[in-house]
Chain A
């Protein structure tokens, strides 16, 4: 795969944009919440407390965090099975997320969805979708609804590089562009389609940006590990959508520190490739940037401690919660709360 330099990216994120101090710290806190929760989830998996599968976004946090801060509270998020970060980015508390991963009654989905389907309609987090590509078309529907009702809301849809090769991607982009829908498509290009380098299975070097012209859109390629550059890109795309100018397709270059899912140690990747990207870690480099630009270490330490406390409390509360009542199996198939299909 290409090195960061091949992609025109600096060795470490440039952090050339400026935001106010409060926002700068919110971005830091948001990324840290994602990182810490996912690391804890992995530890709990090793203890056989988190079951099933999960897909961690370790290393990719800047994209979800930047959009989370740039979005309006009533904008909608549509995420993939790699959706823990995008859920937390919408200010969903850690406890119901952790409880869902642990299969407890207090889980965000009462234990019925699990890691790959985190949803919190109350926070306008409209779902994590585990079939590649489907949710791009669903995000269009939310955007269409906003357009028809004149609400100025925007739908933001996150997906991976592999999604750019499935039919639904192209159907969704074409419809969004044709109908000028207020939707932002965010391709998180981590350069690995599951276990396969994306450039070996894709006709163009930049899987999303190089396809944008086919839908009459400008190519947008951003350093996805630079949370400030991502914030700018997010703000521009959201403003464009809100002004009625239609969709934006953002390609954010990033890297997942681990494998595709937790069954995958990711050993197929070269050591120097991993090293180059770890040097671009979105959180460590951003923390360094904050300190270098005069943010008091003590304030950062306060956030670190705060997030650690939130996580510990969430973990303990989730572990202490009972499993879901088995009556739930036959509940909520239908709007009447039941599962009956006959009289």
Chain B
């Protein structure tokens, strides 16, 4: 993450970065270590615990020529500044007839896996997806963290960048040099003929693991990493469903109005005749996330639950 932010601070001197504990301390997840030393206190700035002030500052700076990156430490805290996100940042371009541009990124640690309990573990990408005017990105690999983050910072619209905090310790190859990806592009990570498993962020490695297990059981699964909920690469998903005839979504968000519901709805409307059986959503149940290992692990979709659901559904 620090590499991704550094790449953008280096690339464009209009880029500035602010948030709680992001400068001197290098971030509570140590994901911003070294940025203050390298870019100085004018461009990498600690703030008080004032989420509305953080996002308001990002918005005002964006509308007057800067390209701010604002950190909201835990995505749960978006609830205390949701007015700035949903009423101000999301709507201002539209309400002003296109007069105001808001090229900014809100990056935030999202989702469970660290036993933090219900106020520091939520997967809230579906909150953001429900508000017109916000782009919503959630990478699953270190390479995408850099490449999609660059695309988000360089995008002319506000982007909420959800970092799966459970994946922070994860490892993966990131090539040298500048990496700039494209928003609104899903990626097919594994090709199989029997079913399509569509997953996001922390659920992607679990879907891949499940697919390997399923292969051993004679079920050959395609795995699609959605990567970006808005814009949504429906083409890749529809093409895959057309090839396999079966759809599973793996969502960390609680059940109701999760992003998978939208995906299933699109497939039902546009690829009904391609489906050879019901589309099935695998989600966290509609509960606040509990903290104990056994409970949290049970609540979030696991590779084992994916395997079991797919196996049962396909008979």
Contacts and interface: CB of A to CB of B under 8 A. Distances in A.
A332 B93 contact: yes
Given A333-B133, A343-B235, A127 B56 contact: no
Contacts of B58: 141
Contacts of A76: 64
A148 B48 contact: no
B47 A175 contact: yes
The 6 closest A-B pairs by CB, nearest first: A141-B60, A137-B56, A335-B156, A332-B98, A171-B50, A171-B53
Contacts of B218: none
B76 interface: no
Given A174-B53, A343-B231, A138 B96 contact: no
B52 A137 contact: yes
A330 to B, nearest CB: 10
B100 interface: yes
A117 B52 contact: no
B7 interface: no
Contacts of B199: none
A146 interface: yes
Contacts of A127: 92, 96, 100
Interface of A: 76, 107-113, 117, 119-122, 126-127, 129, 131, 133-146, 148-149, 155, 167-168, 171-172, 174-175, 178, 328, 331-337, 339-343
Nearest to B70: A141
6 contacts: A142-B63, A172-B53, A175-B53, A332-B93, A332-B98, A341-B230
**Candidate in B16, B43, B84 with the most chain A CB atoms within 10 angstroms:** B84
Contact of B234 (A135, A140, A142, A343): A343
B231 A131 contact: no
Contacts of A117: 95-96
Nearest to A337: B98
Nearest to B133: A333
B31 interface: no
Interface string B270-296: 000000000000000000000000000
A144 B98 contact: no
B48 A178 contact: yes
Given A127-B96, A341-B230, A333 B59 contact: no
Contacts of B57: 137-138, 140-141, 144, 175
Nearest to B68: A141
A335 B93 contact: yes
Contact of B56 (A108, A140, A339): A140
B90 to A, nearest CB: 9
A84 B83 CA distance: 23
A289 B135 CA distance: 55
Given A113-B97, A134-B56, A174-B50, 8 more contacts: A109-B99, A119-B96, A136-B56, A141-B64, A333-B132, A334-B93, A334-B133, A334-B157
**Candidate in B66, B94, B103, B235 with the most chain A CB atoms within 10 angstroms:** B94
**Candidate in B47, B99, B101 with the most chain A CB atoms within 10 angstroms:** B99
Contact of A138 (B88, B94, B98, B157): B88
A127 B231 CA distance: 27
A339 B48 contact: no
Contacts of A337: 98
B214 interface: no
A112 B100 CA distance: 13
Given A113-B95, A148-B16, A141 B59 contact: yes
B308 to A, nearest CB: 31
Contacts of B16: 148
Contacts of B264: none
A178 B48 CA distance: 9
**Candidate in B55, B58, B60, B234 with the most chain A CB atoms within 10 angstroms:** B60
A181 B95 CA distance: 27
A112 B84 CA distance: 19
Nearest to B266: A342
Given A121-B100, A143-B60, A137 B132 contact: no
**Candidate in A76, A135, A332, A334 with the most chain B CB atoms within 10 angstroms:** A334
B74 to A, nearest CB: 18
B117 to A, nearest CB: 24
Interface string B35-74: 0000000110001101011011111111111101000000
B184 interface: yes
Interface string B139-161: 00000000000000000110000
A136 B59 CA distance: 11
B83 A131 contact: yes
A120 B100 CA distance: 9
B60 A142 contact: yes
Interface in B92-137: 92-101, 103, 132-133
B233 interface: yes
B313 interface: no
A129 B94 contact: no
A148 B62 contact: no
A142 B83 contact: no
A170 to B, nearest CB: 8
A175 B63 CA distance: 19
Nearest to B57: A141
B48 A168 contact: no
A74 to B, nearest CB: 10
A111 B263 CA distance: 33
B56 A138 contact: yes
Contact of A129 (B42, B88, B103): B88
Contacts of A108: 97
A331 B88 contact: no
